[in-house]
Amino acid sequence: MSLPLPSVGYALAFAAAVLWGLLYVLDEKLLTGLSIYRLYFLHSVAGAIVAGLVIVARGESPASLLQLSWPGVSLPLVFATMAVVVLACLSIFSSIQLLGASRAAVLEISYPLFVALFAWGFSRQPIGWPVLVGGVFIFIGSAIIVIAPSR
């Protein structure tokens, strides 16, 4: 018996949350001896190797990895996404280095509110009240944790 696709999606999202939690703690340890740029380079190399192997294993030509156009895909959007991911990664590595993994993660996890707002702003995706209220609660909860004095 196979799980319905939404169940698999929830399981993968939960796995991602667990793995991101582990990654932040590992990155915090590495950032005591590595610069954020070296750590970002290492993450990028690992991602490129894995993605390249999967693409080739799926039967695509290794030369396709250098392809810069795909039917129905906007090249400016690809470059914008690449710029945003670089800025996001360098921002989170810097915040982990300056604040520690726990504090950085608590504030960074407020992103669902921004996802909803950007999805509405760029794509006019409707924001249901549960998403808006939940996003606001996450943002407020994150702010309370970050603002509260450490013991």
For every one of its 151 residues, what pLDDT tens digit does the chain have, with 9 covering 90 and above?
566 777 888 888 889 989 999 999 999 999 999 999 999 999 999 999 999 999 999 998 878 878 878 888 888 888 999 999 999 999 999 999 998 898 888 888 878 778 888 988 989 988 888 888 888 888 888 888 878 776 6
Same domain assignment for residues 12 and 81: yes
Q: Output the pLDDT for position 59.
A: 92
Round to whole Å and give the CA distance between 17 and 14.
Answer: 5
Asked, for residue 150, whether it belongs to a domain, the answer is yes
Same domain assignment for residues 92 and 142: no
Q: Which residues fall within 8 angstroms of residue 75, CB to CB, at 6 or more apart?
A: 68, 69
Q: Output the pLDDT for position 68.
A: 79
Asked, for residue 88, whether it belongs to a domain, the answer is yes
Confidence (pTM): 0.79
Token pair 């392809």 is found at: 67
Q: Output the pLDDT for position 63.
A: 82
Same domain assignment for residues 45 and 113: no
Work out how many domains the chain is built from and give that number: 2
By residue range, what is the domain housing residue 151? 109-151
Asked, for residue 69, whether it belongs to a domain, the answer is no
Same domain assignment for residues 87 and 15: yes
Q: Output the pLDDT for position 150.
A: 65
96 burial type by CB count under 10 A (0-12 exposed, 13-18 middle, 19+ buried)? buried
Same domain assignment for residues 36 and 59: yes
Same domain assignment for residues 94 and 119: no
